[in-house]
Structure 1
Amino acid sequence: MIPHEEIKVPVAGGELAAVRWPAAGPDAPVVVALHGITANALSWGPVARLLAGRVTLIAPDLRGRAGSSGLPGPYGIAGHADDVAALTEALGLDRVVLAGHSMGAFVAALAAVRHPDRFGPLLLVDGGIGFPAPTHLTPDELMTAVIGPAMDRLSMTFADRAAYRAFWQAHPAFAGAWSDEVDAYIQRDLTGGEPAMHSTCRIEAVRTDGIGLFDEEVLSAVRKLPAEATLLWAARGLMDEEQGLYDEQRLAAADLGGTRLRPVAVPDVNHYTVLTGERGGREIADRLVAYARA
C-alpha cells in the first residue's frame, strides 16, 4: 500500500469525500477514477501503487458510500456524473482522463457526455455498455440479477472487522487474490459498532443507481462519447464464473461500430480482479499513463 490523502469537495447537498494519491512531481497529469456500485475509493488502491507516481490519481467515494454516505439524494447515475464534474471544478482540473470500474464506467461515460469540456479520454473497466432490462423482472429482482449477493450484504451485520474480512475472503472472486490493499478497500466500507457493524452503502442509493443503469440516457452514453475511449473487459464474471459480463458475442450484439470506444479483453481476471489484481491493475495503470501523457 502507498500513502494517500483524504480530501473533501463541495457538491449539491454537502461534501463529497475523495482519496488522492499524489504523483512524484508537481506537474504530473491527473486521472479521476470511479468505483463500482457497492465499492469505494480504495478499490483503486492497487492501480495507484502500480501507477508508481507517474500521475496523480483521485478517486471519490460516490454519493451514498463510505466517506460520502452522509450525502443526501437524489441518487442516480446522472447525479454521480454531475458530482464528478463538480469535483474537477472544485479542484481546478480541466480535460482530465476519466476512468470507471463497473457502475463507475457508466458514470464516467455519462459524465463525459454531460460535461464534455471537463473530461478527456476515458478508460472504462468492465462496465459502461449496458443492455435493455428484462421486462418481466421487478426492480428488486432486477437488482439481484445485476449484482447478486452484493445486494444481500447491505442488510447484513458483522460482529467485527475480522468477520467482515472473512466474509469477503470466502468470495470466489478473491480466492487466491487477497492483499492488504483489498483488505483496506473492504474495511473502508464497514461502519457502526461491534457486534453489529454494517456496510456504509445506503440501500436506497444502491437500488436507485442499479435501476438507473437501464435508463436510456445511461445506455446511450457510450454511443455519444466526445473523446477517445477504451473498454477493458474481464474474461470472467462477478463470482469468478467463466461467463463474464462481456464477451465477443455480447460486444458484437452491442454494435459499437461508429463509436469512439475500443474494447480490449483482459484474460485471466474476473470482474473484481481486473481492478484489484496485479495483471488487471497493471493493464489499467499503463493505459491511464498513456492517456494522461498523450
Structure 2
Amino acid sequence: MNERHHALDVPVRGGVLRVGVWEADAPDAPSALLVHGITASHRSWQWLAELLPGVRLIAPDLRGRGRSHPGTPAGHPPGMAGHADDMVAVLDHLGVDRTLVVGHSMGAFVGVVLADRHPDRVDQLVLVDGGLPLAVPAGLGTEEVIALVLGPTAERLAMRFASTEDYHDFWRRHPAFADDWSPELEDYLSYDLVGAQPDLRPATSHDAMAADTADLVSGTALTGALARLRHPALLLTAPRGLLDEAPGLYESGRLAQMLAGVRLISSREVEDVNHYTITMGARGAACVAEAVHTALAAV
C-alpha cells in the first residue's frame, strides 16, 4: 500500500465508516472525494492514488462494504441519498468544505445525488462508468436485476473461501482481469475478505447491495438529481462491461440519447478497458487521473 495511505473511522448515523486517506505532498493541496462501486471498497482507488501525489484523496468504504458496517437507524435516508449524507459526515470530520467528487459505478450515482442534496459541498463531478440510468428492462424484481447487471459479482457474496489464495484464484478465472492482474489487485482482493480461514467471505453485505440496487431501479433520488444537475460533470465510459463483454454499460447510441436530455454532462470513452479496469488497471487509472487534473484546474 502507498506510504501516503492511512485509514481512520468516521462516526455516522448508526456507527462508523472506515475511510482511507492518501495524504498529498503539500499542506495546501486540493482534495478529491472518491466513491467506489456497489461491491467494492476504498482499496479500488490504489491505482489512481499512485498517479495523484499532489491531491489529498478521501475514499470511504461505503456503508455495508469493506470495514464499514454500521446499522441503518430509523430516519436514515435509503440508498443513494443515505450514502450521500454519509459522505457529508466524512467531509465534515476531515474538515473539507468543498471538493471534487469522483465516483465509479454505483459511486457515480452517489456522487450525482450528493451534488443534488448538498450542492455547496461539491465543486465538480467525474463519473466513471456510472451516474446515468442503466439499461434494465421494466418489470424485473430486485434479484432479477442483480442477476442481470451484476451476475457473478453478486453471486460471490454467498460464497465461502478456504483461503485468500482461493479467493485470488476465483478472480483469476474472471474475464475482466485476464490482462490486468497486478499486486494492487491482490491487495484489493485480500482486503475484501472477512472472517477466518477456512470460512472467509466477501465483506459486502448482500442486503446492502440489494437495497441499493432497488433504489437505483425504482427510487427517485437519482432521476430527480439528474433533472436538477447544476455541477459540471464528465462521464468516462468503458467500451466493455463487467465480464469484459462488448458493449459496456453505456452503448453509444443510447448514451447519446440520455446525454441530450441532461445538462452539464460531457462524455468520453476510455479505450481498451472494461467496467473494472477503468479504475483498477493502469490504462483506466491514467485516464481518470487526467480527468481529475483537468477538473481541479478548472476549479
Counterpart CA distance in 2 for 1:162 and 1:265 is: 34
1:125 pairs, out of 115, 122, 128, with 128
* Residues in 2 aligned to 1:19 and 1:173: alpha-carbon distance in whole angstroms: 25
Q: Distance in 1 between matches of 2:140 and 2:273?
A: 30
- Is 141-150 or 159-168 further displaced after alignment? 141-150
| 1:276-287 alignment runs, 5 A limit | 276-287=280-291
> CA 1:103–1:70 in 2, change beyond 3 Å: closer, same or farther?
same
Q: How far is the alpha carbon of 1:258 from its aligned partner?
A: 5.1
Please state how far the C-alpha of 1:255 moved relative to its aligned partner: 4.2
Query: Where does structure 1 differ by over 6 angstroms across 4 or more consecutive aligned residues?
Result: none
Residue 199 of structure 1, aligned match among 194, 197, 202: 202
In 2, the alpha carbon distance for the partners of 1:255 and 1:261 equals 7
Q: Does 2:162 correspond to 1:156?
A: no
Q: Tell me by how many angstroms 1:90 deviates.
A: 1.6
**Corresponding residue number in structure 2 for 1:166:** 169
Q: Distance in 2 between matches of 1:190 and 1:213?
A: 26
Provide closer, same or farther for how the CA distance between residues 133 and 175 of structure 1 changes in structure 2, counting only shifts above 3 A: closer
Report the equivalent of 2:221. Answer: 217
The whole-number CA distance in structure 2 between the counterparts of 1:144 and 1:234 is 20
Matches of 1:234 and 1:49 in 2, distance apart?
21
Aligned 1:43-192 pairs, distance under 5 A? 43-51=44-52, 53-72=53-72, 75-131=78-134, 133-192=136-195
- State, as a whole percentage, how many aligned pairs show the same letter: 43
Worse-superposed segment, 226-235 or 132-141: 132-141
Aligned equivalent of 1:268 = 272
- 2:80–2:212 Cα contact (<8 Å) kept: yes
Cα deviations by residue, 1:66-114 (Å, 9 ceiling, x for unpaired): 1102444665111101101111112111120001000000000000000
CA distance in 2, matches of 1:154, 1:217: 26
Instruction: Tell me, yes or no, if the aligned pair for 2:15 and 2:69 is still in contact at 8 Å.
Output: no
1:257 deviates by 4.2
TM-score (norm 2): 0.94
Q: CA deviation at 1:144?
A: 1.0
* Residues 1:33 and 2:34 are matched in the alignment: yes
Residues of 2 paired with 1:134 and 1:284: CA distance? 30
**How far did residue 226 of structure 1 move?**
1.9
Contact 2:226/2:262 (CA < 8 Å) preserved in 1?
Answer: no
- Describe the SS at the equivalent of 1:267: coil
- TM-score (norm: length of structure 1): 0.95
Q: Which amino acid aligns with 1:164?
A: Y
Report if the CA contact (8 A) 2:134-2:249 is conserved. Answer: no
- Partner amino acid for 2:94? L
Contact 2:16 2:69 in 1 (8 A): no
Bigger shift: 17-26 or 221-230? 221-230
Q: In the aligned structure 2, how far is the partner of 1:213 from the partner of 1:106? A: 8
- Given the superposition, is the C-alpha separation of residues 131 and 150 from structure 1 closer, same or farther in structure 2, using an over 3 Å criterion? closer
Number of the residue aligned with 1:23: 24
Equivalenced residues, count: 293
Partners of 2:61 and 2:147 lie apart in 1 by 23
Q: Deviations over 1:128-186 (max 9, x none)?
A: 00047533322211111121111110000000000001111111000010111111111
Structure 1 alignment gaps of length 5 or more: none
Instruction: Quote how far apart the aligned CAs of 1:10 are.
Output: 1.5
TM-superposed deviation, 1:15: 1.2
Whole-Å separation in 2 of the counterparts to 1:244 and 1:36? 16
Asked whether the equivalents of residues 259 and 265 of structure 2 are also in contact (C-alpha less than 8 Å), the reply is no
